Chains A and B, each alone.
Chain A
Amino acid sequence: MALSNILETPAAGFNFDNAARNASLEGRLEGGQTPKPLKTGTTIAGVVFKDGVVLGADTRATSGEVVADKMCAKIHYIAPNIYCCGAGTAADTEKTTDLLASNLAIFSLNSGRNPRVVMAVNILQDMLYRYHGQIGANLILGGADCTGNHLYSVGPYGSVNKVPYLTMGSGDLAALGILEDGFRPDLELEKAKELVRLAIHAGIMSDLGSGNNVDICVITKEGADYIRPYQESEYKDDRKMKYRYRPGTTPVLTEKIVPLKLEVVQETVQQMDTA
């Protein structure tokens, strides 16, 4: 390939060189469709209870109409006292939460303080608004810090919502119904876990994009307890992981041996020089 005549080094960050090519390839591939990114098509929920926050999520990741991952981890670590559930495009939620966790870690090393949930929300808001919704990440952030227990939701354009109970994802309406019915202020731990489990279960049963197991994460002043899986799906399949068979499993019916005839065409002798 000849050297391209670039006059300045390419800028770091996102590169839009292929955007025009992708737009013109839209309708032209065989099969009609460009490959779709992996979405999580999810049910995620969060509830503030007396001593902290409970976050819950399902574990199915879909790519179009196929289940791509049955044990996907949707509750991401941000800080020891802050966790984040992510719905939307899987790669976007992963990378955004990773960047957020790194930034908060640098901050707490620099200042010697524990990060607060509002800081995480502000960083996310700035980052998502800068990209005008092109990063498809719908996040529920929950944590327990020195100012109390907080639960926020952040939309892909950077909109923020602060409420005591939240759901997001494609199964959010089913889960929200359960939370609206069962939520009381200052719930106990076990009741809160049961409520979130029911909400996610409703999302799994009523939405095709959510399924498999339920993950729960309980965050209190003492720390975080990430229970994965909290409840396993009743519809587990019983697949063998290895398919090796002993010799002799398949019966031999007939045997025919044909010798391969080789004839000598040419013979040369070369002396080795052992001086």
Chain B
Amino acid sequence: MNSRGLRSQLKDSVPVAGLCPQGAYGLQDSLRSGFSSVKNELLPSHPLELSEKNFQLNQDKMNMSTLRNIQGLHAPLKLQMEYRAARQIQRLPFLQSSNLALDTLKGSDDVIGFEDILNDPAQSEVMGEPHMMVEYKLGLL
């Protein structure tokens, strides 16, 4: 998976949401994440956790850099601009947005993967607090 060893597997190398331990009232949730220890906080609990979190990002980066090498700078630049424009047509963070334009641009409206079947965000069991979620998105939190 990676030849850079343990360093790149640390959770800190990826921005992870969590200023306080996850769980009700901000306390350590022992049932779900085990007893709190330094190791638990830093290392991922499943070998696939990190690679899945970053999978889409890494694929995009790889595709963009291949495109740049083959067709020059303008091609990925133009595509990135279109993605950025499509990403702005969204609802506020606590509501479900359809992402229709973004999906069409990326071509993921033609493909079914596990992210379409499992853990559908529209049927999530937990609800975020709207004010906190908007503040987090704007970076004010």
Contact = CB atoms under 8 A, between A and B. Distances in A.
Chain B's interface size range is: 35 or more
A3 B95 CA distance: 16
A21 B119 contact: no
B66 to A, nearest CB: 16
Interface stretch (A48-56, A128-136, A143-151): A128-136
Contacts of A106: 110-112
Interface stretch (A6-14, A63-71, A181-189): A6-14
Provide the main secondary structure of the chain A interface: loop
A12 B45 contact: no
Contacts of B111: 103, 106
Interface in A6-28: 6-21, 23-24
Given A4-B23, A6-B128, A24-B34, A19 B115 contact: no
Interface in B27-53: 31-34, 40, 44-49, 51-53
A130 B126 CA distance: 28
Contact of B119 (A4, A12, A103, A132): A12
A2 B24 contact: yes
A3 B136 CA distance: 17
Interface of B: 1, 17-18, 20, 22-26, 31-34, 40, 44-49, 51-53, 55, 93-94, 96, 110-121, 124, 126-129, 132-133, 136-137, 141
Given A6-B126, A7-B17, A11-B115, 19 more contacts: A2-B25, A3-B24, A3-B129, A5-B20, A5-B26, A7-B18, A7-B132, A7-B133, A7-B136, A8-B93, A11-B119, A12-B115, A13-B115, A13-B119, A14-B48, A15-B118, A23-B45, A110-B110, A134-B48
